[in-house]
Amino acid sequence: MKNKSSEASEVVILERCWIVEFRSKPDVSIVLKFQSGEPDLYLEAASKTDCESWAVALGEANSEGLQNKIQQLRRLIMEIKEERSSDEARQFLPSSQVDSLGEPQFTSIQRIANEPKLEFSLACKDLVAATRDRKLNTFIQVSVVHPAEHILTRYSSTEIVEGTKDPLFLTGVTFPPEYPIYEETKIKLTVYDVKDKSQDTVRTSVLPDHKEPRADIGRSFLGCTTFRVADLVKSKEQQLTLTLRTSDGGKTVGTIEVNLVKMGELEDGETDHITTDAQDQKCALVHECTATEGISGKDSLPSLSAVLKNPICKLYRFPTSDNKWMRIREQMAETTLSFHVPKELINLHIKEDMRRNQELKDLGELAPHWDNMRKSVIAHCDQMLSMYQDTLAELGKHAGSSFKSSCSKGEKTLEFIPINLHLQRMHVHSPRLKDALYDVITVGAPAAHFQGFKNGGLRKLLSKFEAERRNTGYQCIYYSPENTAKAKEVLSNINHLQPLISSHADLLLSSASQHSPDSLKNSLKMLSEKTELFVHAFKDQLVRSALLALYTARPGCPLKKPAMPRNSAEEGSDLQHQDHPSQIKRQDSIPHHSEYDEEEWDRVWANVGKSLNCVIAMVDRLLEKDNVSNTKEGENDPSAADCKVFHTGGDWYEQLYPLVITLKDCMGEVVTRAKQSMAFVLLQELACGLPQCLMLTLRRDIVFSQALAGLVCGFIIKLHAGLHDQGFLQQLHTVGLLVQYEGLLSTYSEEAGMLEDMAVGISDLQKVMFKVIEAKSEDFLPIITGRREHYVIEVQLPAKMFELLPQEIKEGKLLRMYPVLFNVGINEQQTLAERFGDTTLQENINQENLELLKEYYKLFTEKMPPDCLPHFQEQNDLKGLLENLHQNIQAKKRKNVEIMWLAATICRKLNGVRFTCCKSAKDRTSMSVTLEQCSILRDEHQLHKDFFIRALDCMRSRQTQGALNESDDPETGCLTDNKPTSRHFYPVALLLVSSHLLVVWLILSLALLLAKYQ
């Protein structure tokens, strides 16, 4: 230190110190405090600006920071030298070789199909601490040097192992199939010692707004080493022992062991002993093992590349209770279905709404009151249709990630897209169970975030809307939701059956013209089946009452109260005694100015059945004559028989043609009347609640779209995983698939509205049926057909996989879904709801879905043998689990997480699909999924009891999450961590159990946030 005009009088070494700035004093001061006990150093600045600049400068002027900058410069120099050497080499090569270097050919790693390219585990020995009395807390950072680019890319990190110089890391390293890694690739391993947060080397309490605190404070560099992938893959022992050296390459600070891992192999060695440090309660493990020579002959998993993208894999090894090792591969993947399913669904909505608008226009002439109502409805429907079309156009422009992040949940153009839809898969290979898969679909709760929750969610809004519709008075006619759904079903049946009947009638005439008895019989059979379905579709009181209502809505028609229609027995009696349809005079459309005949509709739709009877009788007569003639002609000259056949063939067509035309005409008359009457019912539904009705339909479509995308993803993954399980496939087509949703939403504020949306969206999934078909091309994405009240999802499988299915599924049998939702709020907002609010919504949802689960179990026990269930280690009786779940739901205990665990266990035992949802599928969801995974390892795979918490920390540690940025090398002092915080360090297993601990955690978190931003 010196004055402006004097020599330096003192030198201050900025090491193990921190800076305190006093803002309250008139003369702004800075104090340097030293951990060594040296006296504090007081510095005064002329102004506040000078004080802040001095604080920043002193914070960056520490010795470790300078060492990091030196290392960064050294690395840049090495990169420049490598680039120059490669450029110089090109100057001396022929042009053909230079071109080949432009696209270098590297040696691929031999691997099993659909398996990670490379996996290895890590352990260190004899690490040297900076000070003799210090206990090391170490982790390894893994970086990749790509052979083509010579750029260092941070890839992943292990967990932190505390209090030992011989750390064995439970978190391994895995490279997914799509990762560009070759034998020439170099991997750099850097070991860091993590210091206690209270022992930071230099820490500033005040920083300017544009400055971020250093992210690498609190750890120090120990040593590093590098190896080629080929050295590990081709090593005889499949193991490398490398020396760790300091950055200058001089001092040895220990060794690091790299062991090649193959999930199909078992480690022969055992865990020699497990010791626990009583003081720090940290587990240290000594591990020795030898790799087996062969690879287990397990089949590779079916490819899901059509629906799964961008997988992130993690590898772990945990000890079992009998001192064996099990390996766990954790995979998280996006799905292309996040956008594919909503776009297909919106396209169906557009077609359905355009068809409905045209049916409203085809109602014909109406009285002024009804006509004005129709115009208003069509105008509103056109606006809504335009909005759907704009949304579909915007989704068509989307490029980039195949999932919607939580920060985009309020965007209007993405409101049909599910939030953070991912597959979370755990693949376990243990001595007891060689190959076990556990899948959970994680997704944000299906809800209309852009629409908001000011007035609640769908559950409340639909109930309120239905109550208001009942009190609409004289303006329109009230039809119950059941009648409205029936009207939509009738219209759907008309649109589906009419073209089928016409095509089968044409095939019948074609068979008659060709004089083909067998073809004639088959065509008649198909025509009869479809026509009978058509006739029975209109045997409903709703059609007749709607026809009368439409008659009274015609201009100039007196109002008459509809008479009660007769029952179906009377209708059937009339059907048998009516005259031949050819003798019935053709009726015009519904009369406008005469008294309405209530029995007219019965005669009209019954004419279709009688026309079909005439066609059947004529075909029987023709076939009978043909048999007789063939018998006689067989006794005569064959040439004469040929002439007779030709003449008889012409008679067949001529005799059937007028009957078929009559059938088509009668069917057209029924279609016209039925379409108009059902369209009039829909007009009443829309007119009674404009514009609320359309807005509720939009909201329901949004929520259903999000829920359906997740369901399709879950079904496809479950189908692929169970292709070799004959018991599951039998259950799938005999009973159906159980789909269990675990909700973690609170019943407070906006999340209560989200829960209401979610409950309705999941309930609507009961309208979805699945069908498995053989793929005819390389496009394996599912095909969606149907309407709002009934959807069919056609899942495409390659020919080899399709052949594995039972005959019932291959023949196109529709597969039913049984969705159930159990919700338990676990966050701080639920604490407020339980103490000051209301939890009735959650209790009602759980109780309703418990009844649905019991119905599925009853159906399962009636139709399926018990030996088809998966054999878990914990063979709890399913009936006992259901009773336990019932008791926990009735107990109304605060934050009763036992409900979630019981429902999840029942779902897995019933071969169901598991979903876990919270607001954004991040924090609460990841806590629940990791806790469930560790519980499975403990209960089903004998995870060592002393390693439960450590395994939980490994799966939740942010140190091990995902690939890191290319420029992030902590050794250079440049660390920018922008990965999403999808997991935390907190032991939330305890927070889930105790609401008091949760409140304490909330208070501490708020205190830390306040301290951070002060």
Catalytic site positions: 918
How far is the C-alpha of 95 from the C-alpha of 767, rounded, in Å? 65
Instruction: Look at strands 219-228 and 202-204 and give their pairing.
Output: unpaired
Instruction: Give the start-end residues of each E strand in 134-234.
Output: 137-145, 152-157, 161-162, 173-175, 186-194, 202-204, 219-228
CB 799 within 8 Å of CB 719: no
How far is the C-alpha of 910 from the C-alpha of 852, rounded, in Å? 14
- 1006 phi, psi to nearest 5 deg: -65, -40
- For 622, the token pair is 């023709």
Count CB neighbours of 954 within 10 A: 25
Name the nearest CA neighbour of 741 among 916, 900, 908: 916
How far is the C-alpha of 794 from the C-alpha of 806, rounded, in Å? 16
- For 875, the token pair is 């063979």
How far is the C-alpha of 401 from the C-alpha of 407, rounded, in Å? 14
Is the Cα torsion angle 1003, 1004, 1007, 1008 positive or negative in sign?
negative
Please classify residue 206 by burial: count the beta carbons closer than 10 Å to its beta carbon, then call 0-12 exposed, 13-18 middle and 19+ buried: middle
The DSSP result for 560-605, as a single string, is -PPPPPPPHHHHHHHHHHSPPGGGSPPP-SS-SSS---TTHHHHHH
Longest dimension (CA), the chain: 140
* Rounded-to-10 torsion of CA 404, 409, 410, 413: 30
How far is the C-alpha of 412 from the C-alpha of 416, rounded, in Å? 9
CB 611 within 8 Å of CB 584: no
- For 558, the token pair is 């007196």
The DSSP result for 337-365, as a single string, is HHHHHHHHHHHHHHHHHHHHHHHHHTT--
Q: At what angle do helices 600-633 and 517-536 cross, to 10 degrees?
A: 170
Instruction: Look at strands 29-34 and 173-175 and give their pairing.
Output: unpaired
Name the nearest CA neighbour of 491 among 546, 528, 563: 546
Count CB neighbours of 826 within 10 A: 24
CA 865 centroid distance within chain: 31
Give first-to-last CA distance, the chain, whole Å: 31
Name the nearest CA neighbour of 119 among 300, 311, 296, 314: 314
How far is the C-alpha of 623 from the C-alpha of 609, rounded, in Å? 21
Beta bridge partners of 120: 173, 260
